[in-house]
């Protein structure tokens, strides 16, 4: 059973029978649109260019899942650096929460990929091929002709091409740009997995940005749903100045709103901002510029729709929730900085091996106590490194290694068996404290020192 036609409590993109209402927003120009164009252009350039920029022969951002190595601007992370991801994600979440509490959905309107790609690529192509919003609305309402069919086909071909480029750019972050080009030069048969992956990504991008559009923000994205709990009366967001605008034309006299509906016409989610802050508002600012256009024409001050807070009192920037979010963000960023400062280029661990804690050997009728350790050396730097291992007490102790110096190639690690031997006569009940020095040859880096205890039975008293 269909809900009554005057049923209003539904999403703006859904009609009274529950079907999609295809929104074709009117084009708008103005102060905010000009700035958004620049920001979107920069973000798109960053997305497209980053996989092709190399630093010291390395791609500056590479998320190589197959090798479990992640490169960020010269920093090399491996799978065991996963706790860092927690701090990265938590910091990003807290930053978004804080920005939302201060400025509403400024992220959605200015920097979210969903907005950037739809507004600055897909809708631009649509306007270029099919004409302005009036022409496109007419096209949807009227039966298809040869000309309109041709336009629709051309639009989808162009949508496919840009989706194909975006899918490849995205994949280049994971495979490496140069490697991706090499794969593209070969037959898809040779790289079937990546071929189908990129085709699948192209299909998803095409569906999402080409057809699904802002429905994603309303139906799929969880962020839009939680924003209402993050906002309060002091949050600055895109709002209609009811005090100034009402009573609007047609509802009385006196207000500045002339009921021209221009703010509704330009809204990509099809809402009327004059009804107050709504979940469907993605903060795109189109209604601000649209209303300013009208205000200019009727010679009234701009800003009937503007960034403002709900309260009429002066905005309190330091509110309890802002302080709580800021503290959480500072903690998380501190954790991140601490973790990053410990992602050394070189790491060394010395652990006792899992076999016997010690072995007593007889060599030349002498009792020798031997302890077995595992030395793990990790080289996260972009050049190979040589390590020289030595003991602080070379007179009493004997160090045995399969090789010394040890070469570890760039972004490699090795687990090396390390034995320390001592004449049993030297053994004490508390063991012998030993300092193992790990020196990186051809480098000014300080010597790494590892302290361990050589244990074993003392010579029984005769
Ligand atoms: S664009 Fe401005 S004047 Fe026109 S209906 Fe919207 S709020 Fe009123
Ligand atoms: S109400 Fe205004 S800011 Fe919100 S989505 Fe619509 S046009 Fe954009």
pLDDT at 72 over 80: yes
Q: Whose CA is nearest to atom 7 of ligand 2?
A: 267
Work out the average pLDDT over 65-84. 79
> What would the 3-class secondary structure string for 218-259 be?
HHHCHHHHHHHHHCCCCCCEEEECHHHHCCCCCCCCCCCCCC
Centre a 10 Å sphere on the Cβ of residue 309 and count the other Cβ atoms it contains.
18
Distance 162 CA to ligand 2 centre (A): 26
pLDDT at residue 8 in the model:
58
Measured in residues, the chain has a length of 462
- Does the beta carbon of 440 sit less than 6 angstroms from any atom of ligand 1? no
| Among the listed residues 283, 290, 370, 247, the one whose alpha carbon sits nearest the alpha carbon of residue 100 | 283
Work out the average pLDDT over 180-195. 91
pLDDT digits (tens, 9 = 90+) for 156-174: 999 999 999 999 999 999 9
- How far is 369 from 385, CA to CA, in rounded Å? 32
pLDDT at 252 over 80: no
**Test site for ligand 2: of 285, 289, 291, 293, most ligand atoms within 8 A of the Cβ:** 285
Nearest ligand, measured from the Cα of 277: 2
pLDDT at residue 300 in the model:
94
pLDDT at residue 58 in the model:
82
pLDDT at 5 over 70: no
pLDDT at residue 1 in the model:
47
Work out the average pLDDT over 397-417. 91
Nearest ligand, measured from the Cα of 251: 1
Q: Which residue has the higher pLDDT, 203 or 413?
A: 203
Centre a 10 Å sphere on the Cβ of residue 75 and count the other Cβ atoms it contains.
14
- How far is 211 from 77, CA to CA, in rounded Å? 38
pLDDT at residue 9 in the model:
66
- How far is 294 from 258, CA to CA, in rounded Å? 9
Torsion of CA 278, 110, 117, 45, to 10 degrees: -170
pLDDT band at 288 (very low <50, low <70, confident <90, very high): very high
Q: What percent of the chain has pLDDT over 90?
A: 67
Q: Which atom of ligand 1 is nearest to the CA of 272?
A: 6
pLDDT digits (tens, 9 = 90+) for 51-66: 999 887 788 999 888 8
DSSP conformation class of 217: I
Work out the average pLDDT over 346-352. 89
pLDDT digits (tens, 9 = 90+) for 353-393: 988 889 999 988 899 999 999 999 988 887 889 999 999 88
pLDDT at 196 over 90: yes
Q: What percent of the chain has pLDDT over 70?
A: 97
Distance 274 CA to ligand 1 centre (A): 8
pLDDT digits (tens, 9 = 90+) for 260-276: 999 999 999 999 999 98
pLDDT at residue 192 in the model:
92
Q: What is the pTM of this model?
A: 0.79
pLDDT at 79 over 80: no
Q: Whose CA is nearest to atom 4 of ligand 2?
A: 281
pLDDT at 6 over 60: no
Q: Whose CA is nearest to atom 8 of ligand 2?
A: 284
């Amino acid at each position: 059973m269909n809900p009554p036609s005057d049923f209003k409590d539904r999403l703006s993109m859904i009609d009274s029978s529950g079907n999609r209402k295809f929104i074709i927003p009117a084009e708008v120009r103005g102060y905010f649109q000009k700035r958004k164009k620049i920001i979107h252009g920069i973000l798109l350039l960053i997305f497209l260019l980053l996989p092709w920029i190399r630093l010291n022969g390395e791609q500056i951002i590479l998320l190589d899942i197959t090798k479990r190595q992640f490169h960020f601007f010269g920093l090399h992370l491996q799978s065991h650096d996963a706790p860092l991801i927690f701090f990265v994600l938590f910091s990003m979440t807290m930053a978004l929460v804080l920005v939302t509490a201060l400025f509403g959905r400024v992220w959605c309107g200015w920097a979210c990929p969903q907005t950037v790609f739809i507004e600055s690529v897909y809708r631009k192509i649509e306007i270029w091929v099919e004409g302005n919003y009036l022409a496109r609305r007419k096209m949807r309402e009227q039966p298809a002709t040869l000309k309109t069919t041709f336009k629709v086909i051309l639009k989808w071909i162009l949508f496919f091409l840009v989706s194909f480029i975006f899918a490849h750019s995205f994949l280049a972050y994971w495979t490496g740009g140069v490697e991706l080009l090499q794969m593209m030069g070969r037959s898809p048969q040779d790289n079937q997995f990546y071929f189908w992956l990129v085709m699948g990504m192209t299909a998803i991008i095409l569906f999402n940005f080409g057809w699904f559009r802002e429905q994603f923000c309303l139906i799929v994205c969880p962020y839009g749903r939680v924003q209402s709990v993050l906002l309060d009366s002091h949050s600055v967001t895109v709002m209609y100045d009811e005090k100034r605008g009402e009573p609007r034309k047609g509802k009385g006299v006196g207000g500045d709103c002339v009921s021209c509906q221009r703010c509704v016409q330009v809204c990509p989610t099809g809402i009327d901002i004059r009804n107050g802050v709504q979940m469907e508002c993605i903060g795109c600012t189109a209604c601000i510029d649209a209303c300013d256009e009208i205000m200019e024409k009727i010679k009234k001050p701009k800003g009937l729709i503007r960034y403002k807070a709900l309260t009429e009192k002066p905005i309190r920037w330091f509110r309890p929730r802002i302080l709580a979010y800021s503290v959480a963000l500072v903690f998380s960023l501190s954790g991140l900085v601490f973790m990053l400062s410990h992602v050394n280029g070189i790491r060394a661990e010395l652990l006792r091996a899992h076999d016997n804690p010690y072995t007593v050997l007889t060599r030349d009728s002498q009792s020798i106590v031997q302890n077995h350790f595992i030395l793990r050396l990790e080289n996260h730097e972009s050049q190979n490194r040589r390590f020289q291992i030595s003991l602080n007490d070379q007179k009493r102790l004997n160090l045995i290694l399969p090789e010394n110096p040890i070469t570890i190639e760039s972004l490699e690690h090795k687990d090396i068996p390390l034995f320390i031997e001592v004449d049993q006569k030297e053994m004490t009940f508390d063991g012998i404290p030993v300092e193992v020095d790990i020196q990186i040859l051809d480098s000014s880096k300080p010597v790494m020192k590892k302290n361990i205890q050589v244990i074993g039975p003392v010579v029984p008293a005769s």
